[in-house]
Amino acid sequence: MTQNDYDTFVDMLQAVADLYGKRLTEFSIGIYWGALKQVDLAVFREAMNRHVTNPDNGQFMPKPADLIRMMAGSSQDKALQAWHKVDKAVRQVGTYSSVVFDDPLIHRVLHEMGGWISLGTKTEDEWPFVAKEFENRYKAFASRQELPEYLPVLVGIIEAENRKEGHRVEPPMLVGDANVAMAVMMSGTNKPALGMKQMAVGEANRIMQLVHKRDEKTNPMEQAA
């Protein structure tokens, strides 16, 4: 969260405190803010909603540690945090610039969804559906604790045009923790996520002949008919 989110954060926190018949002091609000300001506002809101509907712990006002534990654990939380990074980057950086995130799964998921540039073609009406697709794909990888191969850089429009014309490529924008993003870039690969190779005609014919002979042996009645 940023300082611009502070008033909304306080309103949400106080609204939850009112549910439990408590009134928070400025000092206690400061403790919550100091412990939770590193997360996105939407993630904080989701954690609050999940806490108040939790039949086990929801009868008590959540402490900062309760919310942190709830936000850190699930693949849903991670997917939500990842999407907010993407959403913020699209709105603040744009798809003309190439980007590197501090989360390699973001690279893989966006590549499977059509790439960084394709996000810039989506309308505001389409955006919630894009978000849901991203979160579902991200959760699938995160729940399997899988780190597949991914592109080192998500190429933007300017870099794509410069590559086509043979011009110099501008360095990408690092999103999130810059040091982690550079490590993500170093570990990426430009190999296609799905390998493809054109078979030679002779090799294809040889294999099809073997398949045909195998079928003749396994289906003698069909051949007789």
Tokens 């590559």 sit on residue: 163
Phi, psi of 100 (to 5 degrees): -130, 120
Q: What is the pLDDT of residues 160-184, one digit of tens each?
A: 998 888 888 889 999 999 999 999 9
The confidence score (pLDDT) of residue 224 equals 54
The confidence score (pLDDT) of residue 72 equals 62
The confidence score (pLDDT) of residue 194 equals 60
Instruction: Identify the segments of the chain with pLDDT beneath 50.
Output: none
The confidence score (pLDDT) of residue 198 equals 79
Q: Which residues, 6+ apart, have CB-to-CB distance to 198 below 8 Å?
A: none
Q: What is the pLDDT of residues 124-150, one digit of tens each?
A: 999 999 999 999 999 888 877 667 899
Alpha-carbon distance of 90 to 46, in angstroms, equals 22
Phi, psi of 171 (to 5 degrees): -65, 150
Going by C-alpha positions, the residue among 53, 106, 111 that lies closest to residue 78 is 106
Q: Which residues, 6+ apart, have CB-to-CB distance to 133 below 8 Å?
A: 113
43-69 in b/e form (b: 16+ CB < 10 A) is bbebbbebbbeeeeeeeebbeeeebbe
The confidence score (pLDDT) of residue 58 equals 85
Instruction: For residue 3, give the DSSP letter.
Output: G
pTM of model > 0.85: no
What angle is formed at CA 38 by the lines to CA 137 and CA 82, rounded to 5 degrees?
10
Whether residue 102 contacts residue 172, with contact meaning beta carbons closer than 8 Å, is answered with no
Whether residue 113 contacts residue 137, with contact meaning beta carbons closer than 8 Å, is answered with yes
The confidence score (pLDDT) of residue 195 equals 62
Alpha-carbon distance of 90 to 87, in angstroms, equals 5
Q: Which helix (H) or strand (E) holds 187?
A: helix 178-187
